[in-house]
Amino acid sequence: MGPRPAISSFLESRRLLTYILIAIAAWSALSVDWNGNLVHPGGAESARQIFTAALTPELSSDFLALALSASWTTVTFAVAGLTLAIAVGLPLGVLGSGVLLRPGSRRFFTITGVRVVLGCLRSIHELVWAWLFVVAIGLSPIAGIFALAIPYAGILGRIYSEILVDVPEEPLNALRTSGASEFKVFLYGRLPMAMPDMLSYTFYRLECGIRSAAILSFVGITGLGYQIQLSLNDLLYNEVWTLLLFLVGLVALVDLWSSLVRKSVTP
């Protein structure tokens, strides 16, 4: 058993990782053609136009109404996708945490199996799912919702199971000695104690979902992303800025909502 520990400790050493990263950075810098047209020659002018447009976003009432309805569409898609993700991710997260099962081989195989499923769900990005669904069922809002829901179910399930395991044991043991079965311990102890963290993470995912839903517009979800694309094609930068401001506003609203809800469940 001589050399093996030495090799593995060398591979695990942080210094090795640092050297590799430095080497990669140096190599990529060398492979750039610094003398060529690194920057598009008309780029400076375009950039100036884009940023001056930020000072005069399009504020006509017609366009604001359009931006408002596009925002609403984006929110509904994000909420629909996330609802589906919670419906799938919560039961999988509970199963994958193993908290309802007695220690033993059945528990081991359930936890492992569910973790593999959750891993597969979240290893593919929602954009890729969107492409696949467009091929399979065509341009449709359903494609966008499913594309969002699948990876998000995997992410939520994983995080839920970790939060459920990380709950303090003492109150749970007290419930057990009052005669509660594991499922009742779950209802009266584990779930209430895990709830603030689970809610907070779910709201964070809703934020991410709104951003993703905006990007997924190309599979037939009309909404902020679709409008941004149209305005960009027409080089109407002041419209783009208005739409971006609505996107920022949506995320801020979700954040506000999240902190209000969290306040009501934190002891």
When asked if residue 178 is in the footprint of other proteins (CB under 8 A), the reply is: yes
- The structure tokens listed for 166 are 């990380």
Q: How far is the CB of 1 from other proteins (least distance, A)?
A: 26
Least CB distance to other proteins at residue 265 (A) = 7
When asked if residue 175 is in the footprint of other proteins (CB under 8 A), the reply is: yes
Which residue lies nearer to other proteins by CB, 185 or 213? 185
Binding residue (CB under 8 A) for other proteins from 84, 140, 155, 176: 176
With beta carbons less than 8 A apart as the criterion, state whether 258 and 200 touch: yes
Q: Which stretch, 110-118, 124-132, 186-194, 249-257, contacts other proteins (CB under 8 A)?
A: 186-194
The verdict on 165 binding other proteins (CB under 8 A) reads no
Q: Which of 9, 28, 177, 233 binds other proteins (CB under 8 A)?
A: 177
Q: What is the DSSP letter of 167?
A: S
- Buried-exposed string 174-195: b where 16+ CB fall within 10 A, e elsewhere: ebeeeebeeeebbeebbeebbe
Tell me the closest approach of the beta carbon of residue 102 to other proteins, in angstroms.
11
Is residue 104 part of the contact set for other proteins (CB under 8 A)?
no
Count of positions on this chain that bind other proteins (CB under 8 A)? 24
Residues 223, 217: contact at Cβ < 8 Å? Answer: yes
Question: Closest by alpha carbon to 244, among 103, 76, 81, 67?
Answer: 67
Binders of other proteins among residues 189 to 248 (CB under 8 A) are 189, 192-193, 195-196
Q: How many residues does the chain have?
A: 267
| 94 touches other proteins by CB under 8 A | no
**In the bound complex, what is the minimum distance in angstroms from residue 207's beta carbon to other proteins?**
24
Stretch that binds other proteins, among 120-128, 135-143, 182-190, 255-263 (CB under 8 A): 182-190
**Diameter over CA atoms, the chain:** 76
In angstroms, the CA 41 to CA 174 distance is: 71
Q: How far is the CB of 79 from other proteins (least distance, A)?
A: 24
Contacts of 77 (CB under 8 A, 6+ apart): 141, 144, 145, 148, 213, 216, 221, 223
Q: What angle in degrees, to the nearest 10, is found between the helix axes of 191-215 and 61-97?
A: 140
Is the distance from CB of 93 to CB of 179 less than 8 angstroms? no
Chosen residue from 173, 249, 256, 257 binding other proteins by CB under 8 A: 173
The contact set with other proteins (CB under 8 A) reads 168, 170-171, 173-181, 183-184, 187-189, 192-193, 195-196, 265-267
